Amino acid sequence: MYKSVKELIHKSTLKYAQMPAFSLKTGFRTKTYTYKEVYSYITKFSSFFETNNIKRGEKIVILSPNRPEYAVTIMGAMIAGVTIVPIDYRTNHETILKFIKLTNPKAIFASLFYKELFHGVHEKLFLFEELLAEVEKSEPKYVDQPPHDHLAAILFTSGTTGEPKGTMITYENIVASINNIRTVFILPPQTRLLSILPLSHALEMFGGLMTSFSYGSHIHYLERINSITIIQALRRYHIQGMAVVPQMLRLLLQNIERHIKVEKKEEVWKKSHSIAPYLPMFLRKQLFRPVHDSLGGSFSFFACGSAPLDVKIAEEWMRMGVEIVEGYGASETTGFISTNTLQHKKIGTVGRILQGIEYKKSETGELYVKGKNVVSGYFDNPEKTKEAFPDGWFNTGDIVQFDSSGYIKIVGRDKFKIVLPDGKKVYPEDVEKKLNNNPLVADSTVFGLDLGEGEIVHAEIITSNPHKLTQVVDEVNKTLNPHEQILDYGRWLHDDFPRTKTLKVDREAVRTEVKERKSGIKVTEDHERENNDKVLRILSTVSGKKHVSMHGNATLATDLKLDSLKRIELLALIEEEMGVSVDELKITSQTTISDLRTLIEHGKPTVVDDKIRIPQWQFTRTTDNMRVALQDVVAFPLLNSWIKVNLKNPENLKKIKTPQLFIFNHVGVYDVVTSILRILPREIRKKTAIAATNLIWQESDIKGIMAGLFANCIPFVRAEEHEAMRGNFERVGQVLDNGYNIAISPEGNITHTGKLLPFHTGAGYIAIEMGVPVTPFKMNGYYELWPEEAKRTSQLFWPKKPGSVEVIVGEPITFPPSTSYEEATEILRKTMLDLS
């Protein structure tokens, strides 16, 4: 049990000091901070705030996607006693300004991307990209923990109800909530987690960040989040668990099923699923080995919350040996109310109420909770506070049922709130307000309608101008947030809506009537199918047109008026929501909606370079030692009798700081192995990999293993295609992250004439994006030594005559990140040409 936030942070950083705490995938590289480094920043925040005239009790607003700097700022502010106001980075401009006006922060902390938003809004802006370098300069300062009732954070509820509700979270709330969840949710140290839910949400801030931090987890953040980057991260970092919204479970599953279909393994898939329920978890993992491999090989659980979870999907994951842990909570309870655990769980429930939380049910079945984790109210909003917190209890507004063992089933979430499949919430009142502002609308009622794929926003409108209904909805949609868009609507044919005793609209009665209407008429079958149709929904979002007006032969360009901007938006949405990549080139001015469907049907699952991966075994200490021994004892003595290597500028070898890039003039298949490796000092050679053509691995497994064993080769695809290039860069970044140098040929091909070929601009791209120095190596005399045919085939290992090769080592070149790719390429080529 922790007594304070300070104790939690202090103890974890002491206990796990040398272990990695946070990593950020930035470009192709990974930046990692250990617990000790994190602590060092945290202790400097107090003086940093002082220097910038931000006092204890004053507020700062944070707006950024998750990143280590965000996490460190949260904890730094908590130690210093500065109140944080994190805002979901997906919030619209208007609402952000509203939050700022309401809380009157002393400073804003944001990522560069959002800089413009604050022009003329706030003078004091700190950018996360530069923040830690600034904090670093401050002196460490150890301050007392603020009192228990001190305000630690204000979290705004994600909806944009007329008045924003800012939950006021104190130090006592945080400590209580983390202590509560720690009694049932336990992680071994250094569990590798991927954090994709925004840190501005209670679940991620207090669970994903602080609880995991208390267990010494290694938390991974991504610069950009989508289905591709998530799957790549699962693989690259061998992630073990992540917190998700239910929609992500569906998306990942669809992606896997698409693979199964492409590989024509549906039969095996079905069979495996029918056997799995009878097997224990570890055998299920074996049965679905390929699935687990595609998730990085170590994946074991999803923590899931914030929207209703589809039982079918949860069960499918469980059959594949992946645990699903569903929990339930709110900002008002500092994140948690109840949860399932790995040991005790019931699918379809949100688990049992946590220790330390009192609860009761109202007559209508609504759940009320009380405890130290329950906040005292909303910021500057006594009215709403009174409404939601009667007599010190928090009214969750959710209707629940308990089973005999105390597991909670949520029957209805908040009476009116619409919860979209991705967890985003829409408050019908907000949409109605905008609708009713339109002069053509007499009255309207908005609610969530589930047509088979989760709730969508539906509006019933009373109007005397039915022919203008589409126009009205289009106009109103323009003023709504993207997630609030009215996707389905109808004309209410009565004079008024059914009303309750207190004369409020009876939404449930309206919904029931609409459902009956939709199932009653025969044509609606088609209509409903269309409603369910994701492609149409996406097209409707992108084009702003109502989807019933779209026919299969409508063209994207002329009929839906999709220009280049909208076309990319469309492809992006198809990628994000359906997990399919469609080639942009295939969409022409003639493409129709039916064509698009076919393209999606035949599209690739959105995963880059699925087959080509770095052989992990090559990057272990054992392999390193074995490889160097094989080189020293077998390969090099053999080579010595045929090729002598003369080293020029040996002093430059001392300037190499592993890991970095090596570039060389490509004069033959075995040029690096027979010449450059031999002049590298053993310690550098041990930590050096070579980018070699992926054809080696395609030709035969043995060849791949030999190339890996003797020379630490990794597969590199020779291609101009951007996707393939990106795969190459990812692998290079991974090798550097592992702490190895990597040798790359910037020409891409072996020279035909002995002269240096033009460089790929990709060379400059790699040099800049990898953020490491580049050391050039030039080989003279090698080209002349080998027979012509041997230069291109790996079959001929021996030179035509004994001789000698001169290897000239250049000085490592460091590029400022602002150098353009083209410029960097030119500098590299010129250096190579001038090397003597």
| Binding interface with other proteins (CB under 8 A) | 27-28, 90, 92, 112-117, 129, 223-226, 228-229, 482, 541-542, 564-569, 571-573, 575-576, 583-585, 720, 722, 748, 758, 760-762, 765, 768-769, 817-823
- Our CB check for other proteins shows the closer of 599 and 705 to be 599
Nearest distance, CB of residue 714 and other proteins, angstroms: 21
- Our CB check for other proteins shows the closer of 380 and 610 to be 610
Nearest distance, CB of residue 224 and other proteins, angstroms: 4
Alpha-carbon Rg for the chain, nearest whole angstrom, is 30
Nearest distance, CB of residue 220 and other proteins, angstroms: 16
| Under 8 Å between Cβ of 227 and 251 | yes
List, as one string, the DSSP characters of 705-755: HHHHHHH-EEEE-----HHHHHHHHHHHHHHHHTT-EEEE-SSSS--SSSS
Query: 671 is written with which tokens?
Result: 């040029």
- Our CB check for other proteins shows the closer of 349 and 825 to be 825
Residue 296 and residue 285: Cα distance in Å, rounded?
A: 13
Residue 220 and residue 239: Cα distance in Å, rounded?
A: 8
| Under 8 Å between Cβ of 20 and 34 | yes
List, as one string, the DSSP characters of 139-196: PP---PPPPTTSEEEEEE-SS--SS--EEEEEHHHHHHHHHHHHTT----TT-EEE--
Nearest distance, CB of residue 584 and other proteins, angstroms: 4
Residue 369 and residue 176: Cα distance in Å, rounded?
A: 14
Nearest distance, CB of residue 88 and other proteins, angstroms: 13
Nearest distance, CB of residue 288 and other proteins, angstroms: 27
- Our CB check for other proteins shows the closer of 17 and 813 to be 813
- Our CB check for other proteins shows the closer of 122 and 567 to be 567
Nearest distance, CB of residue 245 and other proteins, angstroms: 14
C-beta atoms surrounding 366 within 10 Å: 17
CA dihedral 196, 202, 207, 208 (to 10 degrees): 20
How far is residue 222 CA from its own chain's centroid? Answer: 5
The three-state (H, E, C) secondary structure of 784-800, written as one string: HHCCHHHHCCCCCCCCC
Residue 579: burial class (beta carbons within 10 Å; 0-12, 13-18, 19+): buried
Phi-psi region of 746 (alpha: psi -120 to 50; beta: other; left: phi over 0): alpha
Nearest distance, CB of residue 400 and other proteins, angstroms: 33
Residue 205 and residue 357: Cα distance in Å, rounded?
A: 20
- Our CB check for other proteins shows the closer of 224 and 501 to be 224
List, as one string, the DSSP characters of 303-348: EE-SSPPPHHHHHHHHHTT-EEEEEE--GGGTT-SEE--SSS--TT
Helix (H, G, I), strand (E, B) or coil at 553: coil
- Our CB check for other proteins shows the closer of 224 and 467 to be 224
Residue 269 sits at the vertex; the CA angle it makes with 267 and 270, to the nearest 5 degrees, is: 70
- Our CB check for other proteins shows the closer of 564 and 795 to be 564
| Under 8 Å between Cβ of 67 and 24 | yes
Nearest distance, CB of residue 129 and other proteins, angstroms: 8
- Our CB check for other proteins shows the closer of 4 and 226 to be 226
User: Kind and range of the H or E element at 127?
Assistant: strand 125-127
Nearest distance, CB of residue 769 and other proteins, angstroms: 5
- Our CB check for other proteins shows the closer of 117 and 709 to be 117
Which has the closest alpha carbon to 430: 475, 462, 477, 394? 477
Nearest distance, CB of residue 771 and other proteins, angstroms: 10
C-beta atoms surrounding 332 within 10 Å: 27
Tokens 């990143």 belong to 67
Residue type, 137: K
| Under 8 Å between Cβ of 411 and 362 | no
Q: How many CA atoms lie within 13 A of 336 on its CB side?
A: 35
Nearest distance, CB of residue 487 and other proteins, angstroms: 13
Tokens 């031999």 belong to 678
- Our CB check for other proteins shows the closer of 284 and 760 to be 760
- Our CB check for other proteins shows the closer of 573 and 835 to be 573
- Our CB check for other proteins shows the closer of 63 and 169 to be 63
Which has the closest alpha carbon to 87: 106, 108, 72? 108
- Our CB check for other proteins shows the closer of 789 and 822 to be 822
- Our CB check for other proteins shows the closer of 539 and 690 to be 539
Nearest distance, CB of residue 117 and other proteins, angstroms: 8
Nearest distance, CB of residue 112 and other proteins, angstroms: 6
Residue type, 655: K
Nearest distance, CB of residue 562 and other proteins, angstroms: 11
Nearest distance, CB of residue 720 and other proteins, angstroms: 5
Helix (H, G, I), strand (E, B) or coil at 262: helix
Non-local (6+) Cβ contacts of 186 within 8 A are 215
- Our CB check for other proteins shows the closer of 569 and 624 to be 569
Nearest distance, CB of residue 828 and other proteins, angstroms: 14
- Our CB check for other proteins shows the closer of 368 and 821 to be 821
